């Protein structure tokens, strides 16, 4: 492998100029993060770092913290004892941002200082044109160039139809069809990689981002895993990671995300027809599954509403509901939903207790 120089790591004149403001500090690039600990690449190799107390004190929003892809100023560039200290984050030239619903200051930086963002979507189950549309919108805002990467072509028998759909929303954007099942299925992405240029891969879990990157690298660097049929949405890649390719070029692999931060307004706009129907249901809290006089179910039975459309509505609603919650909160939400039928978690606990007593 090539020696990793700061230039290979994407350091351009713009960052060098800014870094000169900080005399006595050294420049590095964040390649991964685990809780409060950052892995930083420097001219002299990798080191572990944490932010300074002063930095922590000045942080106002989540997005002020260093993110993968950031150039940071450190107190050292050698692996001496203890962690290096991050004092500053250099001004980002681009950032792919994910917003937690309802909160304006809860922006999460998915990847910083990227040149291209690969919006990845599989051609089979995960394919969803509306979601692609939203990812595209966020990508344009990131100041990186979006490229749509469709994966798992081998599992799709109507590629041309899907491409036709994508073309309608992807104006001025390259659209690539890939598969990791054939030896050359990754080739369409290859030409986008250049020395010093950073590409981030984003998209849902299990659609083959890491597998595709592995094909490109030509070795199994990143863990990949099949999605278990009974356990959808299980994440294989657990953190963002910046990798310098042997041939030059930089890629940031990210864990699959549920969504970008769907604001409820999106749901309202996209599913106005279903909301209109729902307003006519007998029960105002109708779940449109088994309640009597459900206008939504009636419309589906009458062939006025496509079943799949209703399914994606429910799915999006769930995503919106979970958006912005941490994993513990998501679990609680899931349990609450699960136990809604028996009258909520409290009752569920009682029921479980009662059962144990019987035994
Ligand atoms: N048939 C088929 N399967 C694929 C393809 N690419 C990946 N897979 C399979 O899809 C599963 C998930 O692949 P990953 O690369 O782990 O998916 P990921 O997008 O990185 O998922 P996260 O890390 O959870 O975000 C694995 O079992 C892969 O073998 C493909 O082109 N065709
Ligand atoms: Mg992965
Ligand atoms: Zn209903």
Dump pLDDT digits (tens) for 36-46.
Answer: 899 999 989 99
Q: Which atom of ligand 1 is nearest to the CA of 152?
A: 31
Q: Is residue 146 one of the residues assigned to a domain? A: yes
Q: What is the pLDDT of residues 192-211, one digit of tens each?
A: 999 999 999 999 888 999 99
Q: Is residue 8 one of the residues assigned to a domain? A: no
Q: What is the 3-state secondary structure (H, E, C) of the chain?
A: CCCCCCCCCCCCHHHHHHHCCCCCCEEEEEEEEECCEEEEEECCEEEEEEECHHHHHHCCCHHHCCCCCCEEEECCCCCCCCCEEEEEECCCCCEEEEECCCCCCCEEEEEECCCEEEEEEECCCCCCHHHHHHHHHHHHHCCCEEEEEEECHHHCCCHHHHHHHHHHHCCCCEEEECCCCCCCCCHHHHCCCCCCCEEEEECCCCCCHHHHHHHHHCCCCCCCCCCCCCCCCCCCCCCCEEEECCCCCEEEECCCCCCCCCCHHHHHHHCHHHHHHHCCCCCCCCCCCCCCCCHHHHHHHCCCCCHHHHHHHHHHHHHHHHCCCCHHHHHHHHHHHHHHHHCHHHHHHHHHHHHHHHC
Same-domain check for residues 180 and 235: yes
Q: Say what the pTM is.
A: 0.72
Q: Is residue 53 one of the residues assigned to a domain? A: yes
Domain that holds residue 126: 95-253
Same-domain check for residues 154 and 236: yes
Residue nearest to atom 16 of ligand 1 (CA): 224
In this predicted structure, the answer to whether residue 233 has a pLDDT above a threshold of 60 is: no
Same-domain check for residues 320 and 241: no
Q: Is the CB of 235 under 6 A from ligand 1?
A: yes
Same-domain check for residues 162 and 288: no
Of 262 and 94, which is predicted with more confidence? Answer: 94
**How many domains are there within the chain?**
3
Cβ < 5 A residues, ion ligand 2:
209-210, 236-237
In this predicted structure, the answer to whether residue 228 has a pLDDT above a threshold of 70 is: no
Same-domain check for residues 128 and 246: yes
User: What pLDDT shows up at residue 240?
Assistant: 87
pLDDT band at 165 (very low <50, low <70, confident <90, very high): very high
Q: What is the CATH number of the domain that holds 39?
A: 2.40.50.140
User: How far does the centroid of ligand 1 lie from the alpha carbon of residue 218, in Å?
Assistant: 15
User: What pLDDT shows up at residue 272?
Assistant: 67
Last residue of a domain, one of 72, 89, 106: 89
Range with the poorest average pLDDT among 109-113, 302-306, 335-339: 335-339
Same-domain check for residues 295 and 217: no
């Amino acid at each position: 492998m090539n020696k990793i120089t700061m230039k290979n790591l994407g350091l351009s004149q713009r960052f060098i100029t800014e870094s000169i403001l900080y005399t006595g500090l050294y420049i590095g690039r964040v390649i991964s993060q685990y809780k409060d600990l950052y892995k930083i690449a420097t001219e002299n190799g990798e080191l572990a770092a944490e932010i300074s107390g002063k930095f922590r004190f000045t942080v106002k929003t989540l997005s002020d913290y260093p993110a993968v892809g950031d150039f940071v100023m450190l107190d050292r560039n050698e692996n001496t004892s203890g962690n290096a200290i991050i004092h500053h984050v250099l001004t980002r030239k681009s950032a792919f941002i994910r917003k937690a619903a309802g909160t304006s200051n809860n922006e999460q930086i998915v990847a910083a200082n990227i040149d291209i963002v690969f919006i990845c979507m599989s051609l089979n189950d995960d394919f969803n044109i509306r979601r692609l549309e939203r990812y595209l919108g966020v990508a344009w805002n990131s100041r990186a160039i979006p490229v749509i990467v469709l994966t798992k072509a081998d599992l799709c028998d109507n590629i041309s139809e899907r491409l036709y759909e994508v073309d309608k929303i992807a104006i001025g954007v390259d659209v690539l069809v890939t598969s990791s099942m054939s030896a050359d299925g990754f080739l369409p992405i290859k030409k986008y990689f250049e020395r010093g240029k950073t590409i981030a891969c984003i998209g849902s879990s299990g659609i083959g981002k890491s597998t595709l990157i592995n094909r490109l690298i030509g070795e199994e660097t990143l863990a990949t895993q099949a999605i278990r049929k009974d356990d959808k949405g299980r994440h294989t890649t657990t953190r963002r990671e910046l990798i310098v390719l042997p041939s030059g070029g930089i890629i940031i692999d990210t864990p699959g995300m549920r969504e970008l931060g769907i604001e409820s307004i999106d749901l309202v706009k996209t599913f106005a027809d279903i909301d209109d129907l729902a307003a006519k249901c007998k029960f105002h809290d109708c779940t449109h599954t088994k309640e009597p006089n459900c206008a939504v179910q009636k419309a589906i039975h009458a062939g006025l509403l496509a079943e799949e459309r209703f399914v994606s509505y429910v799915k999006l609603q769930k995503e919106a509901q979970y958006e912005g919650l941490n994993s513990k909160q998501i679990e609680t939400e899931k349990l609450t939903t699960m136990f809604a039928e028996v009258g909520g978690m409290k009752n569920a606990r009682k029921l479980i207790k009662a059962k144990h007593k019987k035994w």
